[in-house]
Amino acid sequence: MGDTLISVWDAKFHYNYWRPFTAIRNGNVDGNPNTTGDDAWDSLILNPAYPDYTSGANGVSSSAMFSMEHFFETDGVAFSMTTTNTGPTTLDTRDYASFSQATQEVVDARVLLGIHFRFADEASRELGKNISKWGYKNYLRRLKGKGNSDELARK
């Protein structure tokens, strides 16, 4: 997860890509004659004060979930998570049938909140997955005779 965060922040400041809030409000001055601005558009939560691409939340969650998939040797593990957010929501427990279901929900949530473009979320999910795969393949191998996750390493 730490390596993923380093890669996420490197991309954020390399590409310096605007967030949907800025893009939608400035659609009339983006150089594309097929878009118009909407000064009234707003995201559901306050936009972070740093670039959109790539998503830190998606990078971290996908690297964690894909690491769990390697550990359990399957994507299909049912689990629940409870938020500790004290913001506008109350404590909420979410149930998942798989690790990939959870990572897809993080992608969708960030888009629906209006703070990321979908391509930034999906790219970050893939980044976290690839970094997790690399870490597993190079450092987190099982001891001989203790299970076989070679198929996951090739995914």
In the predicted structure, residue 135 carries a pLDDT above the cut 70: yes
pTM over 0.95: no
Domain containing residue 83: CATH number: 1.10.606.20
Three-class secondary structure of residue 107 per DSSP? helix
**Token pair listed for 24:** 């939608």
pLDDT score of 74: 96
The Cβ-side half-sphere exposure at 125, using a 13 Å CA radius, reads 19
pLDDT in tens, 33-71: 999 999 999 999 999 999 999 999 999 999 999 999 998
Residue 139, domain extent? 2-154
What ranges make up the beta strands (E) of 9-155? Answer: 79-82, 93-96
**Token pair listed for 44:** 């559901």
- Number of structural domains in the chain: 1
Query: Using 50, 70 and 90 to split pLDDT, how confident is the model at 90?
Result: low
Contact of 66 with 133, CB cutoff 8 Å: yes
